[in-house]
Amino acid sequence: MQLYNTLSAEERAIMIDDAGKQRLTLSFYAYAKIQDPQKFRNDLFVAWNALDALGRIYVASEGINAQMSVPAENFEAFRETLEVYDFMKGIRLNVAVEQDDHSFLKLTIKVRHKIVADGLNDDTFDVTNIGVHLKAKEFNEILDDPNTIVVDFRNHYESEVGHFKGAITPDVETFRESLPIINEQLKDHKDDKNLVMYCTGGIRCEKASAYFKHQGFKNVYQLEGGIINYAKQLKEEGLESKFIGKNFVFDNRLGERITDDIISQCHQCGKPCDNHTNCENDGCHLLFIQCDDCKAAMENCCSTECLEIIHMPLVDQVRLRTGKQVGNKVFRKGKSENLKFKHSGELPETALGTAQKPADIRQKIKVKKVLLGKAEHYYVKAQVGQFTVENHELNSGDRILISGPTTGEQELVLDKIIVDGTETQTAKVGDKVTFEVPFRIRLSDKVYKILD
């Protein structure tokens, strides 16, 4: 019985492209008492793997929290796998505003202590005594009430690119940090104000609303289904959006647009921008906002230091990371002194720019291809790239595709290939092959053979 992924993300992406079928990105959660979370996890994996459902899912004795990508043709069959469980009968599935077939490329189901890290002791208060759920129209109406205080229970890098007008946006890195901060900040308004809260899909507010009712707040409300469901209702009912900007999401899209307003800036040059990226340096991976111009100039890096590192031989990059804490263990998530135009805490509500509508929402090029290997080095003056062949054979005359976040999708036909200094007709698995590449490539780039 298969209980874990057997395909890499690259292999899965190729399969999705080859299938050529629409996928739906969706999310859902449910609080419930689960007696055996590990068995529950295994049963879900078997059922969902059979439907080609992918995603990131957390299960615990308190319930389930899931963000997923499901083939559209399997949507109803997927729903049936949920309704096997009484606590998920009729569950709301938040379907994304913007779709991308590559939003998730693996099925990862993890057993956790909690489905959301809130830092609370659930035995000290009634977690079922939650706030009043508000639909989009009701939410808009209560925001117009002068006695309303609206709070964003997301993190600083989420609220920076989009938030509700007039919302308190705590300068926090985790959900658990925001609870005591808001409790202290609003302690004098427990009786006379409406405490209205929202988050991405609603799950954080389920626990937060119960916590604040326990703290003595009399009038507690929450946006039902979060920003995702709010955006859906806006379209269905033709309502005014009181949310401005983009909704950050935790999949490969990193965001879905709610309004065309850009309210944030490129963290490197200050140009209006709300596109997140992760630093290309594997020892950093800092999450930050980067415009296309800076992306090209900095090659997806957050700093000149990281830019220098990605051009080192791979063995030297690994040596730099050895024995050190890396990535988010070093940097506060989305924060670094290198990011000159980073904003958090009190955020603007004035648009700095207007987003251009893409013709196709970040869909991958539908080309039949197989993964050959990855880039190892690029010799700038000679315009020659070096690659390691990891799968299949590479032959002179093959049409290939080189793909990467900065490089994009570049095709070329191989006139000549060299292995170990000698021109050859065929490069086999394990060979380091060099050939002319008339454009700059990066260490993160992958090389594919295009199939006829």
Cβ-based neighbour number of residue 381 at 10 Å: 5
* Options 199, 205, 266, 294, the catalytic residue: 199
Say how far apart CA 155 and CA 361 lie, in whole Å: 25
- The answer to whether residue 199 is catalytic is yes
Residue 84 corresponds to which tokens in the numbers above?
A: 């096997």
Distances (CA, A) of 432 to 6, 8, 306, 378, 421: 26, 21, 25, 13, 10
Angle subtended by helix axes 175-185 and 203-214, to nearest 10:
40
H helices of 186-225, where? 203-214
Q: What are phi and psi of 320, to 5 degrees?
A: -65, -35
Say how far apart CA 389 and CA 424 lie, in whole Å: 14
Residue 364 DSSP class? P
Residue 76 corresponds to which tokens in the numbers above?
A: 């109803």
H helices of 220-340, where? 226-237, 292-298, 304-310, 314-321
Residue 123 DSSP class? G
CA-based nearest residue to 277, from 291, 293, 296: 291
Residue 369 corresponds to which tokens in the numbers above?
A: 């291809």
Residue 72 DSSP class? G
Say how far apart CA 156 and CA 423 lie, in whole Å: 54
Catalytic residues: 199
